Amino acid sequence: MVIAPTGSHFRRRRPSPGAPLRLGYVPLTDCAPLIVAHELGMFARRGLSVSLSRELGWASVRDKLVQGELDAAHAPCAMPFALRLGVGCVPTECVAPLVLNLHGNAVTLATHLRKEGITDGPTLVEWMRRQRRSRQLVFGVVSLHSSHAWLLRTWLQRCGLDPLQELRLVVVPPPQMSANLRAGHLDGFCAGEPWNSVAIGRGDGWCAAPSCEISPGHPEKVLAVLGEVAELRHNDVVALTAALLEACAYCACPKNQESLVTLLSRRDYAALPSGSLRPALSGTFPLGANRTAHWPDFLVFQRSDSNDPTTDKAGWVVQHLLDSTARAKVPPVQLGRVFRSDLFGLARERIGVAPALPLLHENTLLTV
């Protein structure tokens, strides 16, 4: 991983008015709005020239934003705060004018645990109590400071386990989660789609809980925009936000599900397998072990005020995803300076979007 320079000689590439906007993304199911806006001409219709940049992971997105090699990106909801605070990088002004999606993550446990009789959280706790002296469980997360780590710790705590004392969390790149389950290096993980579906499809794991049930309504990915870009290219950023808001509406429409699968599976975009993309987009989620769940809120691209980067959403991010030292550096007055609901409002005015459908919470478990 390349860390951006932190010395006094660091020079960030300056934004260039009129140049194509460089928009980064990581190939996950929830990058869909960026692909849709580009492929269906939503950027072009708003007078924007946008260059999409597929990135290996969040460290790459962070570093390229810091260095000015990207103007904006599909990013975890805590990244704008982490950049402003200089967590692992040069402090960099960053704002979020749009929440791209809610939810989209899940906790997956290894198939070998199923063979031990573990079928849910309570049976995991019971097994852990019996095995306490023999070995410690190991769970994978994308980052120790991500929504995935918080969701996993929260789920484990509700099951009755102490994630700080009774198991070990390790950082593993999402594409390697399934192989590590199969090899026995991991007992479970929390990650975004499609990596849970990949592990389940390969027979390496089974889904124990989706993030829509662990923390209903939690923000997941945002449009992260460099502060300089938001200031110097204000009209372009509003247009960019409007185009992506329109794309979120497209992604939220059930009749567009198969076109999304087709787009995301293309090699020049996310190159993700069709069978692993469909569960999160449809809400009909194969859990493994001949079980299927219906989670209409598994991945929410647009519903109610889901896309609005409100101070309430910003407060949730600060409270749950930042450590105590970082939280102390973000007073309430700063929340609206990072999550820019004002820019979102301008974008929504341009397209007249005022979604009013509630979150469904009609989650059911089926046996097939």
In 26-160, which ranges are E strands?
A: 50-54, 72-76, 94-103, 105-110, 137-141
- DSSP code of 202? T
**321 has pLDDT over 90:** yes
Q: Examine the domain organization and report whether 242 and 350 are in the same domain.
A: yes
Residue 7 within a domain:
no
Which residues constitute the domain of residue 39? Answer: 21-101+218-274+300-362
CA 177 to each of CA 108, 185, 188: distance values in angstroms, whole numbers, following the listed order:
10, 9, 8
Domain endpoint, select from 214, 243, 260: 214
Residue 295 within a domain:
no
Q: Examine the domain organization and report whether 338 and 227 are in the same domain.
A: yes
| Cis upstream peptide for 273 (omega within 30°) | no
Question: What's the one-letter identity of residue 79?
Answer: M
pTM reported for the whole predicted model: 0.90
CB 104 within 8 A of CB 74: no
Residue 223 within a domain:
yes
Domain endpoint, select from 214, 236, 261: 214
Domain of 138: which CATH number? 3.40.190.10
Radius of gyration of the chain (CA): 20
Domain endpoint, select from 192, 214, 236: 214
**One-character DSSP codes across 10-41:** --PPPP-TTSPEEEEE-SSGGGHHHHHHHHTT
Residue 281 within a domain:
no
pLDDT digits (tens, 9 = 90+) for 49-72: 999 999 988 989 999 999 999 999
Q: Is 191 helix (H, G, I), strand (E, B) or coil?
A: strand
H helical segments located in 77-120: 79-85, 111-115
CB 32 within 8 A of CB 3: no
Residue 89 within a domain:
yes
Residue 33 within a domain:
yes
User: What is the average pLDDT across 314-339?
Assistant: 93
Residue 294 within a domain:
no
**88 has pLDDT over 60:** yes
Please state the domain count of the chain: 2
Q: Examine the domain organization and report whether 229 and 353 are in the same domain.
A: yes
Q: Examine the domain organization and report whether 232 and 206 are in the same domain.
A: no
pLDDT digits (tens, 9 = 90+) for 175-211: 899 999 999 999 999 999 999 999 999 999 999 999 9
CB 269 within 8 A of CB 35: yes
